[in-house]
Structure 1
Amino acid sequence: MPPITHPETYPKFQKQLGKVAVLAEMINWCIRNPLQGQPLALDDPKMTAIQSYVVW
């Protein structure tokens, strides 16, 4: 297993969002900003898969 380079716990205050955010909100922030993509709905199965992977 690769080393954990960014250990994160959520919910927590995120300067980028200016509020306390849950993991799904940070995933969408990353999709929108650095990746310039379209955010996922919070109940989208793809969002569930990404969150599961991150938590694992």
Structure 2
Amino acid sequence: MSEDKVKSERVMFTCTPETKEILKKWASSEGRTISNLVERIVLDAITSHEGNK
């Protein structure tokens, strides 16, 4: 692996089966994995939070 590549960290969380199903359908509708969708949601929340400081 080259030095300029960023290694992703792994983060786990728990949710209800209903929440997982919603995330699965949402991700599928956008052609994403659940992991990629959740990363985008978190990054959007961070941007929003940082903007509110």
TM norm. shorter chain > 0.5: no
Write 1 or 2 for the structure with the bigger share of helix: 2
* TM-score normalised according to structure 2 size: 0.35
Write 1 or 2 for the structure with the bigger share of strand: 1
* TM-score normalised according to structure 1 size: 0.34
